[in-house]
Structure 1
Amino acid sequence: MYRVMVADDEGIVIDSMKFIIEKEFGDSCQVECAKSGRSVIELAERFRPDIAVIDIHMPGINGIDAIKEMKAFCTNTVFIVMSAYDKFDYAKEAIALGVMEYITKPMEKTKVISVLKRAMDQIDGEREKRSNELLIKEKLETVEPIIENGLIYDILLQEHFDEDIDSYRTILSINENFGYMMALVCGDSQEGNRMTNAIGTSVKISGKYHEIREEVKSLFKCKVGNVMSNKIAILIPCSEEKLEYNERTDLIERARDLVRALRKKTDISFRVGIGGVKPLRELGDSYREALNALIATTGSVAHVDDLVISCDYEDDYPKNMEKPLFEAIAKGDLNETQVMTEKYADWMCQRAVDGDLMSMRLKALEFALYAEHLAYQNGGQTYHYSGRKDYLPQIMELETPEEIRTWFTDKIVSACRNVVSKREERSGDIIRNAKKYIEDHYDKDISLDDVSRVVNISPYYFSKVFKEESGLNFIEYLTNIRIDKAKELLETTNLSIKEICVSCGYTDPNYFSRSFKKNVGVTPTEYKEKC
C-alpha cells in the first residue's frame, strides 16, 4: 500500500490525477488531496504520505515552501513537483530539496504513470533496505551477548591472542584502549563481606539474566558476560588511563543505583566490586581487583581505588614494562624479551646515576630470579635448589651500572632462551624417539596411535609436531621407510615379491605393488629387472 498525496489549487487537476492513479494502481494506493499550501502541511502531518505530488503555485504557502516544511517530519516521502511554468529557478530549487521529478503541465498520462512507478520502486527499495537493517539488528541483538561473553571469557582466562582481542573490538565497536571491570555478585542476603546461598541464587539470576543485562546497560556503556557461579563480569571501556575523582564518585553512585534497581526487580541482593583502569588486554587484573575490593569491605559497592589493597608506584617507575617483559619470557619470545630488557635496563641505569647501586643490584636480582622461575614453569627445566647460590655474591661484586646491566640482561635473555631451547629439545626428543620406533617396527602393522603412545603425547599433537619437524606426515614417512627397505631387498636379495612385501610391513602384495609404483615410478618386478 502506498499513501499518495496530490496537492493543486485546480480541482480538474486533482480529479485527473486521482482518476489516473485509481485506474492504473487500484487498491494499492490510498489517495488524499489538498488545495492550498497550508492544507498540504496539515494533511502531511496527519497522513504522512509515501509520495507527494505538489503544484508549485498554490494560494498562500507555495509548493516549494510547503516541501521545506514537510521535510522536517516526512523524511522518507518521495516528492514530485508540477507546474504550468517551465522555469529554471523553480526546477533548480526543487532539485536542491531532493525532489525526484519536475513535471510541467499539461501532464501526459504516460508520463505521470512512469514517474509514479519510479517513485514506488524507490519506496520499495527503501522499505526492503529498512527491513534488512531491522533483520540484521535483530540477529545482532541475539548474537551480541554471545560475542560480549566471548570477549570477557578470553580476557578473564587469558586464553587469547592479540588478534583475537582486536577482532572482538572491531565487531563490538570498542574504540577505547583502556577499561575497567565490575564484578556483580549476588546472594539471598549479605553477611559481612560474603553473600549467602551463592549456588541457589546463581540459578535464580540465570533465569533473570536478560532483565539484569538490560538494567546494567541502561546505566553503563558496557559489555556484559554470562553468569559464572553467582557472579557476572562487566567490562566498561574508557579512553583515559585513570578515572578522575568526580568520574569515580559518579561511577560509584550509579553502581549503587544498579544494586537498588536489581534488588527491586529480582528480589535478589547484589554487591558490586569495581577494579582499576587497565589496558584492554590486562582486564583480568582489574576483575581480580574488583573481587578483592568486595572481600576487603562490607559495603554494597566497593572501588579498589578507595581501599588500601592495591599497590602504588613512585611516579617515574616504569610499571608498564614489567608485564610485557615477563609475558615475553614465558612465551619464549626472544626478540620482545631483548627489547623490553634493554628498555628496563636503561631506566635502571638512569636511576643509578646518583650512585644508588644497591637498589639496582636488588632489582636486577629480583627480576633475574623471577625470569628463571618463569623459565622453570614454561620451559620444562629441572629446578636445582642450589643452582643459584652464587647469584648474590656475583652481583655484590659488580661496581658500576654497566656491569650490573650486563649481568641483568644476560640472566633475563638466558632465561628466555632456556624456554625456547627446552621446548625445541622436547620436540626434538619426541621426533627422534618416534623415528627410531618407526625404523625398528616398520615391518609391523603400526599406526599413528601406536607411535604417539610410545612417545606419550596425544595423537593429534604428535601428528602436528611430527609434520612440523620432519616435513612429512606420519604415513608419508612410514611409506618412505618401507619403500626404501623394499628397494634395498630388491637390489641385494633373491627374495620373492611376496616375501619382500611381508618383510616391509605390507600384508597385500597388490597394494604393495601399487604403492611402490606410485613412489618409485615402476613396479617392484620392473625395478628388480632393471637392477
Structure 2
Amino acid sequence: MYRVLLADDEGIAIDSLTYIMDKEFHDKCEVRSARSGRAVIEMAETFRPDIAVMDIRMPGIDGIEAIREIRKFSPATVFIVLTAYDKFSFAKDALDLGVMSFLTKPLDRKVFVDTMTRAMAGIDRTREQRSRELSNREKLDAVVPMIENGLVYSLLLLDNSPQVTASYCNLLEIPESYGFVALLACGDVASGHENPEQPKAPAPLTGSGDHLGNPIGTGIRLQKYYAKIREILKEYSAHAVIGQIMMNKIPVFIPYEAARMDYVERVRVIDRVRRIISRLKEETGVNYRMGIGSVMPLSDMRTSYREALRSLCENNETVSHADDLPVSCTYEQDYPIDLEKQLFDSVKNGNIRDAGLYADQFFTWMEKTQAATYENNVRLKTIEFVLWAEHIAYQSGGFGLYRFADRGDYLNIISDYTVAELHTWFVTKIRDAAEKIADKAKSSASSLTHRAKEYIDSHYSRDLSLDDVSRELNISPYYFSKIFKEEEGVTFIEYLTGIRLSHAKKLLAENKLPVKEICAAVGYQDPNYFSRLFRRSEGVSPTEYRESR
C-alpha cells in the first residue's frame, strides 16, 4: 500500500488525478487531496505520504515552499511536480529539494502513470533496503554478544594469542591497546548489610568470594536480565565488551586509551559505576557489587581480572577498585616494573629475541643507576632473575630433568664476575631460559604434527575430519588447527586434499579403475565435488589428466 497525496487548487484536476489513480492502481494506493499549500502541509503532517503530487501554483503557500516544509518532517516522501508553466523557472529550487520528476499541464495520462509506477518502484527498493538493513541489524545484535564473549574468553581464560585478540578487536572496532576488567557480581545481601548508612564489618566469604549470598540462585535468576544488563553497561562505555554469566558474575572488559588511570579519573569511574549499579538494582531487583582491576596492556588482562576478583573478595563496598586496596608489594618510584614484567612475559612466551632485549635493558638500568652504590644488590638481583627465569623454564618442561646440583657454580659467578661480565652472563641465561621454552613448544608441536600426518596418511580414504584427528591426538580441534598451520604452512583441509589428490593421480595414471571408484578410494563420496577439486588443483579434469598420461 502506498500513501499518495494530491495537491492542486483546481477541483477538476484533483478529480482527474484521483480517477486515474483508482483506474490504474486500484487498491494499491490510499489517496488523499488538498487544494492549498497550507492544507497540504497540515495533511502531510498526519498522513505522511509516500508520494506527493504537487501543483506549483497554489494560493497562499506555493508548491515549492510546501515541499520545503514537508521535507522537514517527512524526508522520505517522493515529490512529483505539476506545472502549467515553463518548468525551468522552478527547476533549481525543485531540484535542490530532491523532486523526482516534472510533469506539465495538460497532463498526459500515460506519462503520469509511468511516473507514478517509477516512484512506487523506487519506494519498493527503499523499503527492501530498509528491511535488509533491519534484518542485518537483528543478525548483528545476535552475533555481537557472541563475538564479545569470544574476546573476553580469549583475554581472560585462553593463552591470549595477539593474533586472536587483534581479530576480535578489529571485528568490534576497538582501537585501544590497553584496558581493564570490571567484574560484576550479583547475589542476596548478607545479613547486617541491609542499611547502607551503617558501617559494614567484613562478612565471611561466601562460596562465590564476593560477600553476596545465594550466588547460584541469583546467577540463575540473572539469566533473564542479561540483555538488560548489557544495555545498561553499554551506557557506561559503547565499547565495553561483556562476557557471559559465570555462576553469579559477569566479566566486563573496558578498552582504555592510556597505560595508566590517574586518581581523578579513577574516582570518576567509581562514581559512575555506583550509579550504574543503582540502576541495575532498580531494573532487575537484584543486588550487585563490582570489582575493578587496574589498566593493563591487552596481553595482561588476566592480571586485571585477578585484581578485579581480589577487589570483590577483600572488602564489601558496592564498588571497589584494585588501586584503592592495600597491596602486598609496592615499588620505589624509579624501579622499572614494566620492564621487569616484559622480560618475564618474553621468557614465558619463549620469545628469545625480546627476552634478550629486555634483559639487556634491565641490566643496563642497574649499571647506570645502582651499580656504583649498590653493587652487591645488583649481583643479588642478577641471580634472583636468572633463577626465576630458569624456574619458569623448568615448570614448562624446557630444561627436562631437574638436577639439584646443576647450578652449583652460580654463587661463584655472582661473586667473581665483574659487572660487565655479569651483564653478559645475565642476558645469556635469560635468553637460554626463553630458548628452552621455545624449543619445548616447537618440539611438542612438531611431534603432534608428525603424528597427525601419519594418521592422515593412513586414513585419508575415510570420511576424515579435523575433529577425528584432534580426538586421535587427544587435543582440542582449535589448538590442533593452529599448530598444524604454523608447522606445515597449510591448513588441515589443504593438507588432506593434497594427500588425496596425490593418490588419485597415481590411480589415474595406472588407467584401470573408473573415475567414480577412484573418487571413493581417496575419500570423496561426491564425484562432481572430486572433479571440481581436481580441476582446481591440476587445471584439467580427472579424465583429461588420465588421457594425457
- Give the alignment's TM-score, normalised by structure 1: 0.75
Map Cα deviations across residues 215-244 of structure 1 (whole Å, 9 max, x no partner). 433455322211112211112223233334
Give the deviation of 1:294 after TM superposition: 2.0
Worse overlay, 165-174 or 186-195: 186-195
Query: Partner of 1:37 in structure 2?
Result: 37
1:227 aligns to 2:245 (yes or no): yes
Query: Partner of 1:61 in structure 2?
Result: 61
Aligned counterparts of 2:452 and 2:23: Cα–Cα separation in 1: 86
Map Cα deviations across residues 144-168 of structure 1 (whole Å, 9 max, x no partner). 2222222111111133321211222
Give the deviation of 1:429 after TM superposition: 8.3
Note closer, same or farther for the CA distance 1:430–1:157 as it changes in structure 2 (3 Å cut): closer
Give the deviation of 1:29 after TM superposition: 0.8
Give the deviation of 1:353 after TM superposition: 7.8
Worse overlay, 72-81 or 380-389: 380-389
Aligned counterparts of 2:33 and 2:452: Cα–Cα separation in 1: 89
Map Cα deviations across residues 25-55 of structure 1 (whole Å, 9 max, x no partner). 1111111222222222212111111111222
**Contact 2:289–2:318 (CA<8 Å) still a contact in 1?**
yes
One of 399, 418, 423 as aligned partner of 1:405: 423
**Contact 2:398–2:436 (CA<8 Å) still a contact in 1?**
no
Q: Which amino acid aligns with 2:164?
A: D
Q: Which amino acid aligns with 2:223?
A: S
**Contact 1:158–1:284 (CA<8 Å) still a contact in 2?**
no
Worse overlay, 349-358 or 26-35: 349-358
Map Cα deviations across residues 92-114 of structure 1 (whole Å, 9 max, x no partner). 22222222222233331121112
Aligned counterparts of 1:341 and 1:333: Cα–Cα separation in 2: 12
Aligned counterparts of 2:377 and 2:100: Cα–Cα separation in 1: 78
Query: Partner of 1:268 in structure 2?
Result: 286
SS in 2 for 1:112: helix
Aligned counterparts of 2:379 and 2:97: Cα–Cα separation in 1: 76
Map Cα deviations across residues 322-355 of structure 1 (whole Å, 9 max, x no partner). 4443333223232333344344444444435865
1:196 aligns to 2:213 (yes or no): yes
1:387 aligns to 2:406 (yes or no): yes
SS in 2 for 1:341: helix
Note closer, same or farther for the CA distance 1:24–1:410 as it changes in structure 2 (3 Å cut): same
**Contact 1:273–1:291 (CA<8 Å) still a contact in 2?**
yes
Map Cα deviations across residues 405-438 of structure 1 (whole Å, 9 max, x no partner). 2122111111122223345566788999999x99
**Contact 2:446–2:487 (CA<8 Å) still a contact in 1?**
no
Worse overlay, 309-318 or 173-182: 309-318
**Contact 1:379–1:423 (CA<8 Å) still a contact in 2?**
no
Give the deviation of 1:373 after TM superposition: 1.6
**Contact 1:94–1:102 (CA<8 Å) still a contact in 2?**
no
1:157-236 matches, within 5 Å, as 157-190=157-190, 192-193=202-203, 194-221=211-238, 222-236=240-254
Aligned counterparts of 2:452 and 2:57: Cα–Cα separation in 1: 93
Aligned length: 455
Worse overlay, 16-25 or 97-106: 97-106
SS in 1 for 2:243: strand
Query: Partner of 1:23 in structure 2?
Result: 23
Aligned counterparts of 1:432 and 1:164: Cα–Cα separation in 2: 25
Note closer, same or farther for the CA distance 1:108–1:405 as it changes in structure 2 (3 Å cut): farther
1:43-192 matches, within 5 Å, as 43-190=43-190, 192=202
Note closer, same or farther for the CA distance 1:430–1:84 as it changes in structure 2 (3 Å cut): closer
1:316-327 matches, within 5 Å, as 316-327=334-345
1:341 aligns to 2:334 (yes or no): no
One of 255, 267, 282 as aligned partner of 2:300: 282
One of 344, 348, 365 as aligned partner of 2:383: 365
SS in 2 for 1:81: strand
Unaligned runs of 5+ in 2: 192-201, 204-210, 459-471, 504-549
SS in 1 for 2:3: strand
Q: Which amino acid aligns with 2:186?
A: C
Give the deviation of 1:88 after TM superposition: 3.3
Note closer, same or farther for the CA distance 1:60–1:331 as it changes in structure 2 (3 Å cut): same
Aligned counterparts of 1:62 and 1:430: Cα–Cα separation in 2: 81
SS in 2 for 1:385: coil
Aligned counterparts of 1:168 and 1:384: Cα–Cα separation in 2: 43
SS in 1 for 2:90: helix
**Contact 1:180–1:278 (CA<8 Å) still a contact in 2?**
yes
Aligned counterparts of 1:370 and 1:227: Cα–Cα separation in 2: 36
Note closer, same or farther for the CA distance 1:429–1:258 as it changes in structure 2 (3 Å cut): closer
Query: Partner of 2:523 in structure 1?
Result: none
* Paired-residue identity, %: 43
Give the deviation of 1:16 after TM superposition: 2.2
Note closer, same or farther for the CA distance 1:432–1:37 as it changes in structure 2 (3 Å cut): closer
Note closer, same or farther for the CA distance 1:253–1:325 as it changes in structure 2 (3 Å cut): same
Q: Which amino acid aligns with 2:359?
A: T
SS in 2 for 1:227: coil
Note closer, same or farther for the CA distance 1:457–1:237 as it changes in structure 2 (3 Å cut): closer
One of 406, 410, 415 as aligned partner of 1:396: 415
**Contact 2:397–2:440 (CA<8 Å) still a contact in 1?**
yes
Q: Which amino acid aligns with 1:56?
A: I
Q: Which amino acid aligns with 1:410?
A: T
Note closer, same or farther for the CA distance 1:468–1:154 as it changes in structure 2 (3 Å cut): closer
Worse overlay, 330-339 or 418-427: 418-427
SS in 1 for 2:73: coil
Aligned counterparts of 1:8 and 1:462: Cα–Cα separation in 2: 74
Q: Which amino acid aligns with 1:10?
A: E
Aligned counterparts of 1:103 and 1:65: Cα–Cα separation in 2: 18
Aligned counterparts of 1:412 and 1:236: Cα–Cα separation in 2: 34
1:470-485 matches, within 5 Å, as none
Give the deviation of 1:214 after TM superposition: 3.4
